[in-house]
Amino acid sequence: MTELPARRLLLVHAHPDDESINNGVTMARYAAEGALVTLVTCTLGERGEVIPPELRHVGGAALGAHRRQELAAAMRELGVEDARLLGGAGRYQDSGMMGLADNDDPDCLWQADLDEAAGHLVAVIREVRPQVLVTYDDNGGYGHPDHIKAHRIAMRAVDLAADPAVRPDLGAPWDVPRVCWNRVPRSVAEAAFARLREDLPGLPFAKSATVDDVPGVVADERITVRIEGDRRTAAAKAAAMRAHATQIEVAEPCFALSNELAQPLFTTEYYEVVRGPGAEADLTDLFAGIEGVA
């Protein structure tokens, strides 16, 4: 077995672009520092709404293939070399927004058997042996069925991967020392939107989103890890987001999705430790305080 880097970070996301919006600074930082950064994306976002008019005719499998290329380009911007699709390309389809008929598609992620889907992630966990796993909260950040299911898959896989009685064919058990959820402190979000509204006349977007449109906003006291961007990592994040051109329009210091509502582009990223050491801490390193990690 090839020797693994001393620090190993695993991120579990629902669609291409989620990783860059939520964790672009974090991924760029740790990749540059020599950590193994592994991204698992659960679907190719085949039902995403396309922004550029010249690409709006692309949908379904063709859109998934296009977004896979966008994901590869974003990973190059972040310096991440280990990006995978849960169960392989096309194994799970985009479920669409909550409440749509798309949720009933037997091939969509929302309908996937939880333990089967988690088993694919167990194999990754036991292979790369991450000390930190990052995913969404139990509402998926904002209620999208694929985000909720990605959360459930990640949390279930953490439990299964640590159990030696579960799928020994997938490798030796591994107990992930720390699990974090993507977060944004409410005070930071409110201040950022106040600045955005002042800047709006000079931006290419007519209207602003609201704090409620930002996934994972919580009370400040729930934040336990803060990863501050610098000029390099902030630029890498913006470039990675631009790579997802079907889904995101970037106009720093903000961006918009297909609803054309401006949101702040956060260059500091925040997390809540929900398992492992550090749940009461104020950390600036996702690996700080984990036994055996330099």
Identify which of 133, 143, 226 has the alpha carbon closest to the alpha carbon of residue 180: 133
The pTM of the full predicted model, rounded to 2 decimals, is 0.97
Q: What is the CB neighbour count within 10 angstroms for residue 63? A: 22
As given in the structure block, the two tokens for residue 57 are: 């005719």
Rounded CA-CA distance 181/161 in Å is: 19
**pLDDT tens figures, 240-275:** 999 999 999 999 999 999 999 999 999 999 999 999
Can you count the helices (H) and strands (E) in the chain? 6, 12
Output phi, psi for 271, to 5 deg. -145, 155
Q: Per the annotation, does 17 bind a ligand?
A: no
**pLDDT tens figures, 158-170:** 999 999 999 999 9
**pLDDT tens figures, 95-122:** 999 999 999 999 999 999 999 999 999 9
Give the residue-averaged pLDDT of 47-52: 96
**pLDDT tens figures, 169-210:** 999 999 999 999 999 999 999 999 999 999 999 999 999 999
Identify which of 224, 216, 219, 221 has the alpha carbon closest to the alpha carbon of residue 284: 224
Q: Per the annotation, does 147 bind a ligand?
A: yes
CATH superfamily name and code, 8-275:
LmbE-like (3.40.50.10320)
Provide, rounded to the nearest whole percent, the portion of the chain with pLDDT above 90.
97
Q: What is the CB neighbour count within 10 angstroms for residue 166? A: 17
Beta strand 207-208 pairing with 261-264: parallel
Element (H, E) at 250: strand 249-251
Q: Per the annotation, does 244 bind a ligand?
A: no
Asked if pLDDT for residue 1 goes beyond 70, the answer is no
- pLDDT interval class at 294 (50, 70, 90): confident
CB 118 within 8 A of CB 160: yes
Does residue 190 sit in helix, strand or coil?
helix
Does residue 34 sit in helix, strand or coil?
coil
Mean pLDDT in the chain? 97
